[in-house]
Structure 1
Amino acid sequence: MLNIESINKRFRAFGEWILKYRWLNIILFLLILGGSFSGLRLLQTDVDMDNWFLEDDELLVTKERFEEIFGSDQYCAVLVQADDVFTADALAKIREMSNELLDRVPYADDVISLTDFEFSRGTEDGLEIGELIPEEIPEDPQELDRIRQQALAKPLMKNRIFSDDSRLAWVMLRMKPIPDDWRDHYAENPEVIVGRMVNEIAGQEKYRSLNPLTSGLPVINVDKQNFLSGEIVRLFGLCLLFTVLILGFSLRSFRGVVFPLLSALSGIVIVLGLQGYFGVVFDPSMIFMPVFLGLAVSVGYAIHLFNHFKRSFFSTGNRRDAVLYAVEETGWPLLFSALTTMVALISFLFIPLHPIRFVGMTSAALVGVTYVLAIVLLPTLLSFGKDRQPMVVESGKNDGVLGRLMVWLGDYVFARPALTMSVFGILVVICTAGISRFEVSFDVLRTFGLKVPYVNRIYEVGQSKVGSLYSYDAAIEFENPGDVLEPENLRKIDSIVDEVKTFPLTKKVTSIVDIIKDMNQSLNAGLPEFHRIPDSREMVAQLLLLYENAGGVEAEKWADYDYQRVRLMVELGDYNSGEAMRELQVIQDRGKELFPSAKVLLVGAVSQFTVMQDYMTWGQITSFFLAMGAIAMLMSLVFGSMKTGLIAMIPNVSPALVVGGVMGYANIPLDMMTVTIMPMLLGLAVDDTIHFINHAQLEFVRTGSYRESCRRVFIAVGSALFLTSLVLILGFSAYLVSVTNVFFNMGVLIGSGILTALVVDYFVTPILLAWFKPFGSETVSDKQKVAESCREKEPESVL
């Protein structure tokens, strides 16, 4: 069994070293903090989704291959809304907006709109390709209506470029690939510039009559970044306010508020500043978790240290001895808590996504730096000041409501152990049943909610007749050049398109088949029955030759020069990662079934979202169990008993069970945000458990009684455990005021998990210790325990 008293003596010696060099500690702290502030200016952010993946990820390799053949799959778009888009004024503004987008947006490739569309017409000489809207837009209503009827006769346009009621139009700006050396030309990712510029252009006063709504991944990413940056600052401010109130209430001193906040904010600055020097690039939407966690952990560590300092200072009046006592009593449990928390967070490295690894490493670094500041900086600052007159009172008197509650709990938890464990078992069964009901899914509406302005906008776009939310591409690579021209292959592709159109998420599908059908119809007097694939390869080849001779270039977006590879673009009106996974798998399976010798490639935003969700889900589940095993081994080794390690894991696994149960019953999806909760909770919950068991083991050595040792634990650290849990719960409860569903859900889930850990530590852990006796056999009889309990006098817990 671990000799905790010996370890504590070593920490007391360390505390003496801290006080001996306290001015040096302050100077070093100020130098490091000043240098870190400079490093903050070097921090780099990046919202490019490609950079979420590791460099050798198969999805990135596939995307690079796709771009070599077909160019970029990215686009930005504007949904135009008017009483009639076929008026001279509306068409003129659509044309002006299309030209402005093409001219001003970096890496713009081309525009597809009512005024910029390859419109094919059959002539006596063959095929003519021009524009639907003449350069001089007519004012005559009859001429405009004739143009409208021509557009309605084109399946390539109706309910794709404009709605059949003529109230909506879709302006799509297709993008070129962004080169890898973009940093040589831009200070920030061009995708951010693209999204911002599209919003700026569409938002001009001159286009107000078009009621434009922007969409496309670059636009969505910019809007998400802008929203989250403001939301996170607001929530962090509330978290700071709650923290100040808790510290003021619990520690009742100016130092008790200022010093922990100084430690917390300094830790955040130091870690982020060092990352700036090391050239760390991160997605700004992922910074909130490390920052909130760093604040909560720092304040929690400070409360433990202040609790022991004030108890000793109140009873002895000697400031120096009180500081040494605080370091002696908290140094080891805080170190062990920090190490186990870091192990849980480092488990994020098992997820092959850069931002999630950033969250894990940054959070772990924050916990490590927080511990150093708590054990070095806080004692240094507390050592300055005058001594006071000592005051010793009996345990349970003048302790305040919380102190008296801890004294009562110390006896009550053993009153009905069988009932307590029965209730605990029933709750475990209920939560396990709830876990079986939760859904693994990322859904932008369920995750963020319509109260978020940009989400409401893109939802409106996605639900319209012509707009889309996201898109993905399916590319088929045949065995031989020219295979795309075979009518049989084209019909099989068409059958895949027809099936994809039936998918719940699909809005529209575009492919080379659409162009071939359109040309066949145009060459046959525009008759609807000729909107089909020709019967022979020669006819297909002739159509494409006529198309090229007429100046058509759109087909190059959908088939390569050798007609060996073909592309399908699927635009979505909604997104759900679970359904998307199913639909993508159907395309893969159908492609292999119809073209056994061909390769089927899936790229685009939806493919990336879906793969990320898969990586996140299974990676976090794996990392959770690995972290749980590692922490169990650490506890077993440190406490010198496998039995103790297993007992300690029960209050640490319980939060995950409760969170999973709440998610199942409340229909909260396991997505890219909520999936990070369980490993994080494991790291946070272990803090209270370590303090409880560490002090229980220490008191057992002194008393020889499990009941008496647990009673003393409640008096010594029970209040601190309550207050640290309260800090975490109220800190993350700032999420509850967010208009974003995922933040609100995380506030509920994290609060539920931390509360569960505290309750299990209070009521279940003492019973398990008494039942299984992991520290050895008791050496005190029950009568002696009761008598000793009545006689025992404890220093006052001012908390």
Structure 2
Amino acid sequence: MSTIRIRSSVPRRTMRWQTGFIFSSERTCSMDARVAVMASITTIPRFGSRQNTASKEQSMLNISRINAVFHSYGVAIIRYRWVVFIAFFALAFAAAAGLPRLKTDVDQDKWFMEDDALLAAKDRMEHLFGNEDFCAALITVDDVFESENLRLLRQLGDELLDRVPYADDVLSLTDMEFTEGVSGGIRIADLVPENIPEDKGQLEAIRRKALSRKSLKGRLVSGDSTETWLILRLKNVPESVKQINGEESIMAIGHLFNEIVSQPQYTSLHPQATGLPVISAEKLDFFNKETPRLLGISLVFTTLILFFFLRSLRGVVFPLATVFCVMTMVFGLQGYLGIQTDPTVIFMPIFITLAVSIGYSIHLFNHFNDEFRKTGRRKESLVIAVEEVGWPLIFSALTTVAALLSFLLIPLRPIRWVGLTSASLVFLACLVVLTLLPALLSFGKDRECPSGEITVRETRMQRFMAWLADISLKRQGLYLFMLAVGIGACLVGVSRIEVSFDVLRSFGRKIPYVDRIYEVGQSQVGSLYSYNLALEFDAPGAAKDPENLKKFEMLVRDVDKLELTKKTTSLLQILKDLNQVMHEGDPEWYRLPESREMVAQLLLLYENAGGAEVERWIDYDYQRLKLQVEMGHYNSGEAARELKWIQQEAGRLFPDAHVVLTGAISQYTVMQEYVSYGQIRSFFIALVIVTILMMIVFGSIRIGIISMIPNVAPALVVGAIMGFADIPLDLVTVTIIPMLLGLAVDDTIHFINHSQLEFERCGKYVESNRRTFFAVGGALLMTTVVLTLSFSAYMASVVKIFVSMGFLVGAGLFSALAADFFITPVLLFKTKPFGKERMD
């Protein structure tokens, strides 16, 4: 421990100086005493102070002049602090009125841009065949064909059809077209008569009928009669209908379906609801509860962090006030503008704002506290604090904004929303910290400056930083070797990353609705996901041509063999059923008719008998065919391969037809492609933009390139962890790497900027490195801890991908800090970008 004792006549107290020493003193000092104390101690000039040397004046970017601007800015803020306070209060109050209008949207169609080809194809198919979305319930009982179970099944279907908005029809054992042969033609009737029999013999006859049809067994009812599948098909909701019962139409449908099937009278059926509207509604309900819970945990962490580091009530209340001010302004404005987004991504901007705002506040508080302890003059200390941190914070915010705006290159609405919203919040947070926070801190009394016998001693943090400074340049070759090995290992992990939008893999089965839809998918007749294939022929009538139907049958047979396919539904089942019925129910005739005339005759008989199911699978002009493929489980890579194969095989069999794929899995596959290429493109563009900014600011191409080498570390480390730990790249994790680039570059800016300034003062790379660690090392470590702990609130969630994110962000930030502490000094020492060392 180094100690200096100076006599003075002031009350005893302790204060921290920019040099990193602590001074204790006794009795009040005069200005002369202060000057004497400062003259007696060799101090390291502060970043941006007026003690800069001539060499600094010759640098391409004159930090001294920039700081002079921020000095004037700080003076203006203090002078007009009431105006600042009132202005921000008025803006926040006005914006707060827009918060109740802020809405979330879980409709998958809203993920895509308005001009996306997939949405256009889906709209065209829904215009022809009806709404592709449906609600469904898996019924599990001892025997589906018991009289009471059939009665409840019919009652449930009737209630759903009567109460659910835009319900079209119900498909179940008690509500379906059952075709039978009669003299001179066919008859379409109910499988289960209107008056459900009690007699066991009659019920057995119904069972035999159902299980004799290949189109029903294993599809609508299980072979052991313990499961049956109820589907509520929906009409197209007009675009003019914005809300139903005060909420989005898809939400209202999902909520009401759940409400009905969950009624006590249907408990014996053990219904398990699924379908896109149901999942969307439950997803919204879950995240509406999960978001406040995680936000509350994060606020607790943030409060404790602030109190631990700043040891001040102001240091807790004022930074949190700036956070709420920033979020209120941005989210309130979005409420006024009617901007909506998926609730799974709304966490990201909130936690970025918390972390960045607190980090920026700590920088300002540290400089203010240092000055206030030395001078005891509140307003002057705030001006100096704004002068010293203004430019680094503004430039850090700009680089973070540049990285976040790279999300706009991914053509998915939620990810673009994250990028634009986060960028707005970060930049506004910087402005609020540099404007509102000094204004708030300026209210208060000055302190009497200490003097007397002053003891100067190093703190534990300074001793730790001194030790790091020493070892950072001792084993340069080892550090570079470890960097090379680490990069190689990380690249292996990165190559194993898989893009996936599987709700089971991303969210996990600890979420009740996710666990339920997984069980439905594993059942005998239920499904997890579905997608649709449509064939559009050039000429009307081509869809019922026997040759085209045979080729279509070949395609469907091959689709049935795919790993993920559970069952398929199309016109083929109806035609084969009709053909079998016309041949006295002989199972040998469950096949397609041989001639075009026979196809036309069967369809005419079916239409005359009142059949309507066929309209869902072939259009009025007989020009388009539709196939629905249901899946019991999901693998993103396999799904992408299967859809690609279907597209190619359909194109080979029908070279003159237009092949269209729609539905949830098609959407997931397209999103995977967008994310895969968009992630790579956005990261490299962000990297290039930030590198160019660094070159401009530091006035050197070499420094700009060196400054970015450590900032690739978080991308590699996070990518490697995701690859080795089998964490998918999805709608949430795709935002991590560009975000980390923006956050990690902040540390590099502070470290290299101060290294350059210290080199200009001392002319020695080793000494400038030591001074840099002493001056900013502790703050960099502190902000990294703050950011990591803020994001660690994610780990309290039951959502798998949020837990992974809490860990990944911390790993990325600490890898960036390690690179700044052990790689950046080595690169600066070896490349000597600031010029040759001075001999003096």
Length-normalised TM-score, structure 2: 0.91
Kept after mapping to 2: 8 A contact 1:511/1:558? yes
Is the counterpart of residue 423 in structure 1 residue 505 in structure 2?
no
Kept after mapping to 2: 8 A contact 1:203/1:212? yes
Determine the structure 2 residue equivalent to 1:603: 662
* Alpha-carbon distance in structure 2 between the residues aligned to 1:75 and 1:634: 50
Following superposition, the deviation at residue 440 of structure 1 comes to 2.2
Following superposition, the deviation at residue 315 of structure 1 comes to 2.4
Is the counterpart of residue 700 in structure 1 residue 751 in structure 2?
no
Q: Residues 398, 157 of structure 1: CA spacing in aligned structure 2 closer, same or farther, 3 A cutoff? A: farther
Q: 2:94 aligns with which of 9, 23, 35?
A: 35
Q: Residues 228, 210 of structure 1: CA spacing in aligned structure 2 closer, same or farther, 3 A cutoff? A: same
Is the counterpart of residue 18 in structure 1 residue 77 in structure 2?
yes
* Alpha-carbon distance in structure 2 between the residues aligned to 1:437 and 1:55: 33
Query: SS in structure 2 opposite 1:779?
Result: coil
* Higher mean C-alpha deviation, range 81-90 or range 696-705: 696-705
* Alpha-carbon distance in structure 2 between the residues aligned to 1:54 and 1:78: 32
Kept after mapping to 2: 8 A contact 1:314/1:392? no
Alpha-carbon RMSD: 1.7
Kept after mapping to 1: 8 A contact 2:131/2:236? yes
Determine the structure 1 residue equivalent to 2:689: 630
* Alpha-carbon distance in structure 1 between the residues aligned to 2:700 and 2:203: 86
| Letter matched to residue 5 of structure 1 | S
Determine the structure 2 residue equivalent to 1:731: 790
Kept after mapping to 2: 8 A contact 1:48/1:189? no
Is the counterpart of residue 340 in structure 1 residue 399 in structure 2?
yes
Is the counterpart of residue 467 in structure 1 residue 513 in structure 2?
no
| Letter matched to residue 749 of structure 2 | I
Is the counterpart of residue 514 in structure 1 residue 569 in structure 2?
no
Q: Residues 668, 587 of structure 1: CA spacing in aligned structure 2 closer, same or farther, 3 A cutoff? A: same
Q: Residues 389, 715 of structure 1: CA spacing in aligned structure 2 closer, same or farther, 3 A cutoff? A: farther
Q: 2:165 aligns with which of 99, 106, 109?
A: 106
| Letter matched to residue 732 of structure 2 | M
Is the counterpart of residue 578 in structure 1 residue 637 in structure 2?
yes
Q: Residues 153, 592 of structure 1: CA spacing in aligned structure 2 closer, same or farther, 3 A cutoff? A: same
Q: Residues 398, 176 of structure 1: CA spacing in aligned structure 2 closer, same or farther, 3 A cutoff? A: farther
Following superposition, the deviation at residue 200 of structure 1 comes to 0.3
| Letter matched to residue 696 of structure 1 | S
Determine the structure 2 residue equivalent to 1:165: 224
Query: SS in structure 2 opposite 1:720?
Result: helix
Following superposition, the deviation at residue 638 of structure 1 comes to 0.8
Q: 2:384 aligns with which of 325, 340, 352?
A: 325
Following superposition, the deviation at residue 186 of structure 1 comes to 5.8
* Alpha-carbon distance in structure 1 between the residues aligned to 2:426 and 2:464: 30
Following superposition, the deviation at residue 724 of structure 1 comes to 0.9
Within a 5 Å distance, the mapping from 1:257-268 to structure 2 comes to: 257-268=316-327
Q: 1:489 aligns with which of 548, 566, 569?
A: 548
* Higher mean C-alpha deviation, range 629-638 or range 421-430: 421-430
Q: 1:440 aligns with which of 499, 506, 521?
A: 499
* Alpha-carbon distance in structure 2 between the residues aligned to 1:20 and 1:172: 69
Q: 1:194 aligns with which of 227, 249, 253?
A: 253
Runs (5+) with no aligned partner, structure 2: 1-59
Following superposition, the deviation at residue 392 of structure 1 comes to 8.4
Q: 1:78 aligns with which of 127, 137, 155?
A: 137
Within a 5 Å distance, the mapping from 1:268-283 to structure 2 comes to: 268-283=327-342
* Higher mean C-alpha deviation, range 465-474 or range 180-189: 180-189
* Alpha-carbon distance in structure 2 between the residues aligned to 1:169 and 1:663: 40
Following superposition, the deviation at residue 780 of structure 1 comes to 4.6
Is the counterpart of residue 750 in structure 1 residue 809 in structure 2?
yes
Kept after mapping to 2: 8 A contact 1:323/1:379? yes
Query: SS in structure 2 opposite 1:9?
Result: helix
Determine the structure 2 residue equivalent to 1:795: none
Is the counterpart of residue 505 in structure 1 residue 564 in structure 2?
yes
| Letter matched to residue 719 of structure 1 | G
Query: SS in structure 1 opposite 2:400?
Result: helix
Q: 1:138 aligns with which of 173, 192, 197?
A: 197
Is the counterpart of residue 537 in structure 1 residue 601 in structure 2?
no
Determine the structure 1 residue equivalent to 2:725: 666
Q: 1:620 aligns with which of 655, 658, 679?
A: 679
Kept after mapping to 1: 8 A contact 2:345/2:731? no
Kept after mapping to 1: 8 A contact 2:243/2:249? no
Is the counterpart of residue 350 in structure 1 residue 409 in structure 2?
yes
* Higher mean C-alpha deviation, range 40-49 or range 492-501: 40-49
* Alpha-carbon distance in structure 1 between the residues aligned to 2:478 and 2:140: 65
Count, aligned residues? 781
Is the counterpart of residue 765 in structure 1 residue 824 in structure 2?
yes
* Alpha-carbon distance in structure 2 between the residues aligned to 1:396 and 1:85: 87
| Letter matched to residue 622 of structure 2 | Y
| Letter matched to residue 723 of structure 1 | M
Deviations 1:502-561 (A, max 9, x none): 222211100001100011111112111110001111111111111111111100110011
Determine the structure 2 residue equivalent to 1:785: none
Give the structure with higher Rg (CA). Answer: 2
* Alpha-carbon distance in structure 1 between the residues aligned to 2:383 and 2:771: 21
* Alpha-carbon distance in structure 2 between the residues aligned to 1:638 and 1:687: 13
* Alpha-carbon distance in structure 2 between the residues aligned to 1:62 and 1:72: 13
* Higher mean C-alpha deviation, range 476-485 or range 705-714: 705-714
Within a 5 Å distance, the mapping from 1:635-646 to structure 2 comes to: 635-646=694-705
* Alpha-carbon distance in structure 2 between the residues aligned to 1:408 and 1:319: 34
Kept after mapping to 2: 8 A contact 1:229/1:285? no
* Alpha-carbon distance in structure 2 between the residues aligned to 1:628 and 1:393: 52
* Alpha-carbon distance in structure 2 between the residues aligned to 1:395 and 1:333: 32
Kept after mapping to 2: 8 A contact 1:53/1:60? yes
Q: Residues 310, 290 of structure 1: CA spacing in aligned structure 2 closer, same or farther, 3 A cutoff? A: same
* Alpha-carbon distance in structure 2 between the residues aligned to 1:392 and 1:280: 57
* Alpha-carbon distance in structure 1 between the residues aligned to 2:446 and 2:244: 62
Kept after mapping to 1: 8 A contact 2:499/2:675? no
Determine the structure 2 residue equivalent to 1:214: 273
* Alpha-carbon distance in structure 2 between the residues aligned to 1:58 and 1:302: 46
Q: Residues 32, 398 of structure 1: CA spacing in aligned structure 2 closer, same or farther, 3 A cutoff? A: farther
* Alpha-carbon distance in structure 2 between the residues aligned to 1:458 and 1:67: 25
Query: SS in structure 1 opposite 2:625?
Result: strand
Determine the structure 1 residue equivalent to 2:26: none
Structure 1 consecutive aligned stretches of length 4 or more whose deviation exceeds 4 Å? 391-399
* Alpha-carbon distance in structure 2 between the residues aligned to 1:576 and 1:293: 31
* Higher mean C-alpha deviation, range 310-319 or range 729-738: 310-319
Query: SS in structure 2 opposite 1:109?
Result: strand
Is the counterpart of residue 52 in structure 1 residue 104 in structure 2?
no
Kept after mapping to 2: 8 A contact 1:271/1:362? yes
Length-normalised TM-score, structure 1: 0.96
* Alpha-carbon distance in structure 1 between the residues aligned to 2:667 and 2:620: 27
Deviations 1:246-293 (A, max 9, x none): 111111111111111111121111110111222322223321110111
